[in-house]
Amino acid sequence: MNNYNTIVIGGGPAGLACAVKLHKNNVSCLIIEREQYLGGILKQCIHDGFGLQRFKEKLSGPEYAERFVNEVFELNIPFIVNAFVVSIEKKDGYTINVSTVEGIKTYTCENLVLATGCRERTSKQVEIHGSRPKGVYTAGAVQHLVNVDGVIPCKKCVILGSGDIGLIMARRLTLEGVKVEAVYEIMPNPSGLKRNIYQCLVDYDIPLYLSHTVKRTIGYPNLEAVEVMEVDEKLKPIEGTEKIIECDCLIVSVGLIPENELAGRIGVLSDARAKGARCDLDFETNVEHVYTCGNATHVNDLVDYVSESGEVVADAIRDRNDSERKLIDIEVKGRCAYLVPEMIDVNKKNNKRVMYFRSNKILKNATVTMKVDDKEILRRVYANLRPPEMERIVVDYPELSENSKVVFEIEEAK
């Protein structure tokens, strides 16, 4: 069978949770996954800390994924692996062209779920001068090498960026006998979760240098050292602060970007703040019947919320009717880095909706409000808001119209 009500692109935690819930909602679906196994990025995350919200247990990434993969098997939910979606056409619903070992296959569906996750920013996206030696990796690539392929790629490394994957790899490599010289972060504050700073660096005596960057790689064809420099408040390297650190590996952990190339080609708009596909409170994008969830929407720090967004999509597909959509934008003000979802379809029922946000600065006693036509419908005071920590809120919207003005604001304590 090549026709399904819904096709889910991506067999990570978002796509798996969505497919399981769709099946339970009696909606036929197919999961398409480009890798050999289902599970997404979790397959390589062998540390624990997954599933605390959902299962009240500390699971490793593969253990968390396994719970959903087992359900996919038990419920006989159709899936194909080693199958890369190369293009989508909007024709009789959606036509999905998939590259497989048997050649290009075509599937059709009424609803499409983009659960394609995110990808890492690379050394090309930060300014590092020098030759292009062997030994420069992204943190996720090293994680795959060590945890999946069983290969230790270096003896002495430097980590650029204090993102969570870099921090986790600092600990992992130390446990494997690699000397982690230091982590250098260009910003004045770490970009990873506080618990990872303590559990991965402080506990292992790995120094973290804030307001520092790697300016140059040295050595060819193999990396022999890197030049690090302090930066000023405009993030410009300060002359005279150069230091050469000998190492055979530079690990770049400078952030993740939602993977939305396929979506862009069918007219799905991305959000300038969250960088993922813009969506309404059902996680339906501006393109009808095309939904987004998980890291394709915004980079989550907890997998529990990734699964949650997949399930919101599954329920929305079950409840979808073909009434005309009327989308309005939510205005974002103050110290908000981003708010997801970004839009509201005023023709849908919008009570008790899950939303996620981050602040763009470390804030103490910050006030978060949501207003509809200047009337406050949500107010919450946070003792602490930190950009690396995503926050979840549930908003109960009143009936809205095309002319409603919805404003979300994070205010700093005076």
Binding residues for ligand FAD, rule: CB under 6 A, are 9-15, 32-35, 40-42, 45, 49-50, 84-85, 115-117, 143, 164-165, 168, 259, 262, 294-296, 300, 302-304, 306
Considering beta carbons, is residue 277 or 400 the nearer one to ligand FAD? 277
Considering beta carbons, is residue 9 or 336 the nearer one to ligand FAD? 9
Query: What is the smallest separation between the CB atom of 18 and ligand FAD, expressed in angstroms?
Result: 9
Return d(Cα 43, Cα 163) in angstroms, integer.
19
Query: What is the smallest separation between the CB atom of 47 and ligand FAD, expressed in angstroms?
Result: 6
Nearest in space to 263 (alpha carbons), one of 119, 104, 106, 115: 115
Query: What is the smallest separation between the CB atom of 287 and ligand FAD, expressed in angstroms?
Result: 17
Q: In what order do the strands lie in the sheet with 212-218?
A: 129-130, 212-218, 225-230, 243-246
Return d(Cα 283, Cα 362) in angstroms, integer.
28
Considering beta carbons, is residue 66 or 304 the nearer one to ligand FAD? 304
Considering beta carbons, is residue 259 or 284 the nearer one to ligand FAD? 259
Return d(Cα 228, Cα 238) in angstroms, integer.
10
Considering beta carbons, is residue 26 or 36 the nearer one to ligand FAD? 36
DSSP code at position 316: H
Query: What is the smallest separation between the CB atom of 395 and ligand FAD, expressed in angstroms?
Result: 22
Give the CA radius of gyration of the chain.
22
Query: What is the smallest separation between the CB atom of 290 and ligand FAD, expressed in angstroms?
Result: 14
Contact between 7 and 112 under an 8 Å Cβ cutoff? The reply is yes
Return d(Cα 171, Cα 159) in angstroms, integer.
11
Considering beta carbons, is residue 86 or 151 the nearer one to ligand FAD? 86
Unique residue bearing structure tokens 């992204």: 138
Query: What is the smallest separation between the CB atom of 113 and ligand FAD, expressed in angstroms?
Result: 11
Query: What is the smallest separation between the CB atom of 22 and ligand FAD, expressed in angstroms?
Result: 15
Instruction: List 372's β-bridge partners, or say none.
Output: 375, 406
Nearest in space to 373 (alpha carbons), one of 344, 393, 339: 344
Return d(Cα 61, Cα 59) in angstroms, integer.
6
Closest residue by beta carbon to ligand FAD: 12
> Tokens in use for 40?
């997404």
Query: What is the smallest separation between the CB atom of 196 and ligand FAD, expressed in angstroms?
Result: 8
Q: How far is CA 280 from CA 115, 372, 395, 398, 405, in A?
A: 16, 16, 13, 15, 15
Query: What is the smallest separation between the CB atom of 227 and ligand FAD, expressed in angstroms?
Result: 27
On the question of a cis peptide bond just before residue 221, with omega within 30 degrees of 0, the verdict is: yes
Contact between 19 and 77 under an 8 Å Cβ cutoff? The reply is yes
Considering beta carbons, is residue 239 or 261 the nearer one to ligand FAD? 261
Considering beta carbons, is residue 115 or 317 the nearer one to ligand FAD? 115
Unique residue bearing structure tokens 């379809």: 345
Nearest in space to 166 (alpha carbons), one of 133, 121, 132: 121
Considering beta carbons, is residue 200 or 225 the nearer one to ligand FAD? 200
Nearest in space to 71 (alpha carbons), one of 130, 29, 100: 29
Amino acid occupying residue 365: N
Query: What is the smallest separation between the CB atom of 182 and ligand FAD, expressed in angstroms?
Result: 20
Q: Residue 96 belongs to what H/E stretch? A: strand 94-100
Considering beta carbons, is residue 122 or 222 the nearer one to ligand FAD? 122
Considering beta carbons, is residue 96 or 346 the nearer one to ligand FAD? 96
Query: What is the smallest separation between the CB atom of 343 and ligand FAD, expressed in angstroms?
Result: 20
**Sign (positive/negative) of CA torsion 224, 171, 274, 234?**
negative
Helices (H) and strands (E) in the chain, counts: 7, 28
